[in-house]
Amino acid sequence: MQLLVDCGNTGIKLGWTDAAARAADLLQHARTVAANPQALTEAIRDCDARLAGVVLLPGNDQHADLFAASWRSGPYRDRPLRRVGADLPLPALGQYPGCGADRLLAGWAAVQALHGDCVIVDAGTATTVDAWRGTDTSVGAAFLGGMILPGAAACLRGLRQAAPRLPAVDPGAAVDGSCQRTTRTAIAAGMAIGYPAMVARCVEQLRADCGIDRVVLAGGAAAQLAATVPHAAQHEYLVLRGLARLAASAGLIAR
C-alpha cells in the first residue's frame, strides 16, 4: 500500500491504495488537508500501518518540503518517500519540456478511465484545458497540447493586486444577474459569468482543433463550470489516480 500525495498550490491531497485499478478504493480514502504542520502531522498519524511508502508530486515545492519534513518526523519515517521527477520519472506521454506533471498525471488517468480521447479541464489555482489521445502504446495515452488560464481565485487576486482599493470577493459568490449596483457584487457577477464563459470558449476551440468530443471536468471549480461545459463528465482526484498509475508502473503497488 502506498500513500499518494499531491502537493498543490492551495492544499495537499492525500489518497492511499494498493491497486492502481481500484478507483473506488482511492476515492473512498482521498481527502484534502491544509498545508500546515499541524494538519499534516494529524494526517500522517492517521495513516494505515500497512503503508509501504509515499509517492509525492511536488506541484508546489514549498508544500512538498513541508510534507516531507512532517513525514520524516512522524511514526512512519522509516518508509521511503519517492518524489515524482526525482525518484520516479514520468513516462513519455508526448509532453514538452517543462510541462506540469499534474497535467500529465491527470490526463493519463482520464484516458485510462474513459478508454479513449478526451479534453480535460482541471480547474484549480490555474485552469488547464488539455487534449489527450488514447493510443495502443504501452502507456496508452498521448498528450496533444492545450492551454493554461488563471483560475477564478487567481483572477480575483490579480485584480486586487493591480487595483488594491477594490474589495475582496469570494470566487464562488452567488449573484443574480449582470446589472449590479455595488462594486463587490459587480466583481462577483463578472467572475460568475465571465470565468465559465472564458473556459467554455477555450474548450470549444480545442475540441474543434483536435477533433475530440468528450470533455472531463476536474478540480475545485469543476462544479462552477458544469453548466457552461455541457455533457462533460466530472472526475475527482484525477492527479491522485495518475499517481496510482505511476506507482503501479514502477512496481510499487499491484496492478
pLDDT tens, 90-100?
Answer: 999 999 999 99
Residue 21: the pLDDT is 47
Residue 96: the pLDDT is 96
pTM of the complete model: 0.90
Determine the average pLDDT of the residues in 187-214. 95
Q: How far apart, in Å, are the Cα atoms of 16 and each of 27, 49, 113, 134, 206?
A: 9, 12, 18, 26, 33
pLDDT above 90 (res 114)? no
- Residue 116: partners with Cβ closer than 8 Å, 6 or more residues away: 134, 214
- DSSP letter at 254? B
- DSSP letter at 59? S
Residue 255: the pLDDT is 55
Closest C-alpha to 216, from 95, 134, 159? 134
In this prediction, residue 18 has a pLDDT band, given cuts at 50, 70 and 90, of: confident
In this prediction, residue 117 has a pLDDT band, given cuts at 50, 70 and 90, of: very high
| CA atoms within a 13 Å half-sphere pointing along the CA-CB vector of 3 | 30
pLDDT tens, 231-252?
Answer: 888 888 899 999 999 998 888 8
- Residue 23: partners with Cβ closer than 8 Å, 6 or more residues away: 113, 241
Q: Which three cell numbers stand for residue 85?
A: 521527477
Closest C-alpha to 107, from 129, 137, 82, 125? 129
pLDDT tens, 57-88?
Answer: 999 999 999 999 999 998 999 999 999 999 99
Please say whether the beta carbons of 82 and 88 come within 8 A.
yes
pLDDT above 60 (res 20)? no
Q: Tabulate helix, strand, coil % of the chain (nearest 5).
A: 40, 25, 40
Q: Which three cell numbers stand for residue 253?
A: 503497488
pLDDT above 90 (res 205)? yes
pLDDT above 60 (res 120)? yes
Q: Which three cell numbers stand for residue 215?
A: 470533455
Q: What is the mean pLDDT of the chain?
A: 90
Q: How far is CA 223 from its chain centroid?
A: 14
Per-residue H/E/C for 159-215 = HHHHCCCCCCCCCCCCCCCCCCCCHHHHHHHHHHHHHHHHHHHHHHHHHHHHCCCCE
